[in-house]
Amino acid sequence: MAEEKHYELVIVGGGPGGLTAGLYGARARRKTIVIEKGLLGGQIANTAEVEDYPGFELISGAELSMKMADHAKKFGLEIGTDEVVEVYCDGDDRVVKCSSGDMYRAKAVILSTGGSPVYLGVPGEEEYTGKGVSYCAICDGAFFRDQVIAVVGGGDAAVEEGGFLTKFASRVYIIHRRDQLRAAKIIQKRAFDNPKIEFIWDTVVEQINGNERQVTHLSLKNVKTGKKSSLEVGAVFPFLGFRPNSNLVRESIRKDQNGYILTDEKMETSVKGIFAVGDVRHQLVRQITNAVGDGTTAAVAAERRMEELEDKKSPVRNA
């Protein structure tokens, strides 16, 4: 039976930003819950190895997620499993509605809903994610030092990340389905001038192949001639875009042209009492450390909002 539940702070999404916000909310002795529809950790739960989180030279994404969750739960954080379908305002309350029918009322909501990369959708992509298929050059590039790497895409992100990967790779192939790039001209020039980058034009990836450990080669097809070929690589980085999960709030909320939520320095959105952290928020990079910092700031700001609301209602404090 559907219930209406009352909390002080509700966090939508159990990624690093959400779990950190949950830690700070619970540590401030606020009744706090993280609602996650899938695995705790978000994108990092599917990351085989994390080596750029301070304090851990090498740890799996799943283990890091569990450590974050266990730490927060020691302070009293509750974790619920459900799918949030809408967030809206009702006076001073912020209401979170779930697919189960349950509704959560709170004084503040933190959106840690993340997003997802645009996938190639080819055989082998899911199988080799974490074994040579990656969507984050900064996160995983160093794992493929001195190997041949393929990048798929022709926009700014694909070409820039291709350049970044040349720091580690012996060669980087940029595979693009058209015969010219969509990236900005200055970004293109840097790529064309880089001796480690080679372009494969008018071509799509049909399949990602490998052994039990990692990617070994790609099956390619030229879209103009139909000719098929094979390319030996140790890793492939698709950069076809990223879709932020930013459409939950009923009220009009400010976003950038790509759908990322805009926030102020407190991580508060244009809707008071609703905050956004991590990958769903407009920012320069998407890293675990960014999300953790966002979560800290949002939880502290949410606590201050609750104090302000309590001050307004307290005759003693207003005396």
Q: Just list the catalytic residues.
A: 136, 139-140
Rounded to 10 degrees, the C-alpha dihedral 149/155/159/161 comes to -70
Question: What is residue 232's DSSP assignment?
Answer: E
Cβ count within 10 A of residue 187: 19
Q: Name the one residue in this structure whose structure tokens are 């959400």.
A: 18
Q: Which of 153, 123, 133, 314 is nearest to 233 (CA)?
A: 133
C-alpha distance from residue 100 to each of 2, 38, 96 (Å): 7, 14, 12
The conformation of residue 119, written as its DSSP 8-state character, comes to: P
What are the helix (H) ranges across the chain? 16-27, 61-73, 137-140, 156-165, 185-193, 288-313
**Angstrom distance (rounded) from CA 194 to CA 73:** 49
Judged on CB neighbours under 10 Å (0-12, 13-18, 19+), 204 is middle
CA distance 272 to 304: 12
